[in-house]
Amino acid sequence: MGNKAVVSLASGLEDAERVTVAFLMAVGAAEQGRPTMMFLSKEAVRLATPGVAVATACEGCPPLTELLDRYQAAGGRYLVCPICVQAKKLDAGALIDGAEAGGTVVLWNWIGDEDATTFSF
C-alpha cells in the first residue's frame, strides 16, 4: 500500500478525547501498512515527551499508552514542531521513540510527490 497518511494534531491532554481520536486514525492507517506521520504542534508536542501520554479519555476509550505502543509497532512516526518545542522549553533531544523535531519543510519532503491522505485534529 502506498498512500501516505498525515495526521495533524494541535491538542494535548487538555482535550484527551480529541487526542484519542487522532491516535485512533493514525493507528488505523499505520496498521493497514500506510506510511504514517503524525505532525504534532501547539500543546500536542508535549505528547512526544516520555511519560506524558498516559491518559484514558473516557470510559471505554483505549488508554493512550496502548495507542502509542500500537502506533510504534506499526511503524508510525512523529514530526514535532520545533518552534512549539522551543516555545514550551522542551528538550528536542529527549523525545519518544519514532519522534523527531521537524517543521513543514521536513513534512513536505516526507510526503514528496506521492498522494497523501490528511486528517487534522
pLDDT digits (tens, 9 = 90+) for 8-46: 999 999 999 999 999 999 999 999 999 999 999 999 999
Taking all residues of the chain, what is their mean pLDDT, rounded to a whole number? 96
What are the chain's domains? 4-120 (3.40.1260.10)
20 contacts 12 by C-beta, under 8 angstroms? no
Q: Is the pTM of this model over 0.85?
A: yes
pLDDT value at position 28? 98
- Give per-residue burial for 86-120: e unless 16+ CB within 10 Å, then b: eeeebeeeebbebbebbeeeebeebeeeeebeeee
pLDDT of residue 2: 63
